[in-house]
Amino acid sequence: MAEINTRKLHKELLKAGIETCGCDSNGIVWDKDNNEIQDHKDVVAVIAAHDPSPDADSVLHEEYNKAGISTQDMIFALWKKVMSADSADADALQVIIDQVNSVIS
Beta carbons within 10 angstroms of residue 27's beta carbon: 17
Is residue 24 a part of any domain in this protein?
A: yes
Note whether residue 70 is domain-resident: yes
Whether residues 63 and 42 fall in one domain: no
The pLDDT, as a whole number, for residue 58 is 86
Phi, psi of 29 (to 5 degrees): -125, 135
Q: pLDDT digits over 34-87, tens only?
A: 999 999 999 999 999 999 998 888 889 999 999 999 999 999 999 999 999 999
Cα atoms in the Cβ-side hemisphere of radius 13 Å centred on 79: 6
Contact 50, 4 (CB under 8 A): yes
Instruction: Please determine, for residue 1, whether its predicted confidence score (pLDDT) is greater than 70.
Output: no
Give yes or no: residues 67 and 94 share one domain.
yes
Taking residue 43's Cβ as centre, other Cβ atoms within 10 Å add up to 21
Residue 1 domain flag: no
* CB of 60 closer than 8 Å to CB of 49: no
- Flag whether pLDDT at 105 surpasses 80: no
Number of folded domains in the chain? 2
Q: Kindly tell me if the per-residue pLDDT of 32 is higher than 80.
A: yes
Asked whether residue 89 is assigned to any structural domain, the reply reads: yes
Q: Which domain holds residue 29?
A: 6-49
